[in-house]
Amino acid sequence: MARRTEELAARDKKYFWHPFTQMKKWLEEAPLIVETGQGAKLTDTEGKQYIDGVASLWCNIHGHRKHEIDEAVRDQLGRIAHSTALGLSGPPAIDLAERLVQLAPKPLAKVFYSDSGSEAMEIALKIAFQYWQQKEGGSARRRKFVALELAYHGDTIGAVSLGGISLFHATYRPLLFETLRAPAPYCYRCSLGLEPGTCSLACLEKMDQLLQQNAGEVAAVVVEPLVQGAGGMIVHPAGYLEGVRARCEKYGVLLVCDEVAVGFGRPGRMFACEHEGVSPDIMAVGKGLTGGYLPLAATLTTDEVYSAFLGEHEKFRTFFHGHTYTGNALCCAAALASLDIFEREQTLARIQPRIEQLSRRLEQFRNLEHVGDVRQRGLIAGIELVEDRRTKKEYPPAENVGMRVTRAARDRGLITRPLSDVMIVMPPLCISNSELDSLLDILLDSIRQVTEREG
């Protein structure tokens, strides 16, 4: 290892506390330190190249060092980096709000900016809650939220309250507000003990019952549309989202769609909701909004929701929420450039062959001895590793199988990050045919090495 890498590693270990990382283990290992990126590849301080198999945590879209985004940020730097959105406005934020409304499912009409997906969801929650408090003839009794088992909406306290992953969320229970929990449509491990194809989406009936039992008291149903990301890339069965929307209509409840992970093309269309012709009342986006460049998120609402916040100053109907960097000009410039690329390069049309390629190649994984389930939606895939395919028995956590596969993949030139023992494929949308093949070759070999030979 070169002197510089050693020196950086030492200072990293001395000062840097990494997210979602057991630091005891981190301190025992040599960290990979990324120096540069180009397209779907990352290069470390030793000059070794890797495929960015999880799009730098699900956010990179058009690749690293995309000329047009680099230029747009530089160009904006020549004007101003940041001025507040509290009481002032700026051209990039105005332009982007208009573009987002034009792209989003109708009748979403207003854009509230923030800096991360968690904040976008926190804002969604607060808007939904306050809407019912202030709506003319509304019901202030509507204070509860319905969320799914294994849901993930971020790491701030409101978002964690909606969360249903005990590993991440259970510790904080005493701090959280109570959320009504509907079953996740996790067909491989159906919590109702049913089989897909013959279940008639019984999980939707459970949600219906929950809404009925709490009639008049629920503010909103919150879902990750089509794919529950951090829960293990749980791909929802066709018709589920449409069914949720229908239940929301039936009980007069708002639908909040968290498109933070799935928005901006990954499932195949711009927004996941579009696949089922669903229009939420509130929609959160983040991650890919800037093409994976800068921290920007947004919460979109309908005019119906927005209008409940209008009134004279002394009525205090204002949405009392905002962050220092709300609507930051550099972030908005990057986002506008990313949306331009979607149009100019016809990104959504261009990824369709990659989606088919992924689908074909995933067949090879299905036959592996320790692969229990393979799930795909667009350019998103989850490969669930199990100790015993027949009984679906999970590996003991101490075996850390997902992490071991990740390390084996890294040695071969692929960066990935598992969700427990679910291996994730979520590359930048710009990934080429041969890069996607290499990614899957490496992942296949690494899974075999750890689960068949090592194990």
Residues binding ligand PLP (CB under 6 A): 116-118, 121, 152-154, 224, 229-230, 258, 260-261, 286
> Residue 234 forms beta bridges with which residues?
228
- Residue closer to ligand PLP, measured from CB, 154 or 402: 154
> Least distance to ligand PLP from the beta carbon of 236, Å?
13
Strands 108-114 and 49-52: unpaired
- Residue closer to ligand PLP, measured from CB, 267 or 395: 267
> Least distance to ligand PLP from the beta carbon of 120, Å?
7
Q: Which alpha helices (H) appear in 260-390, and where do they start and end? A: 303-307, 329-344, 347-350, 352-366
> Least distance to ligand PLP from the beta carbon of 79, Å?
26
Handedness of CA 303, 308, 309, 310 (dihedral sign): positive
- Residue closer to ligand PLP, measured from CB, 234 or 371: 234
Place of tokens 């904080």: 172
Q: How far apart are the first and last CA of the chain?
A: 29
- Residue closer to ligand PLP, measured from CB, 125 or 351: 125
> Residue 393 forms beta bridges with which residues?
388
> Least distance to ligand PLP from the beta carbon of 426, Å?
10
> Least distance to ligand PLP from the beta carbon of 148, Å?
11
In sequence order, what are the residues at sequence separation of 6 or more whose Cβ sits closer than 8 angstroms to the Cβ of residue 93?
A: 85, 113, 327, 329, 332
> Least distance to ligand PLP from the beta carbon of 286, Å?
5
Handedness of CA 174, 178, 179, 181 (dihedral sign): positive
Residue 327 DSSP one-character state: T
- Residue closer to ligand PLP, measured from CB, 222 or 254: 222
- Residue closer to ligand PLP, measured from CB, 230 or 336: 230
Strands 414-415 and 49-52: parallel
Q: In one letter, which amino acid is 401?
A: V
E-assigned strands of 349-448? 371-377, 380-385, 414-415, 422-425
> Least distance to ligand PLP from the beta carbon of 229, Å?
4
Taking CB positions, which residue lies at the least distance from ligand PLP? 117
Q: Assess contact for 275 and 245: CB atoms under 8 A.
A: no
- Residue closer to ligand PLP, measured from CB, 426 or 430: 426
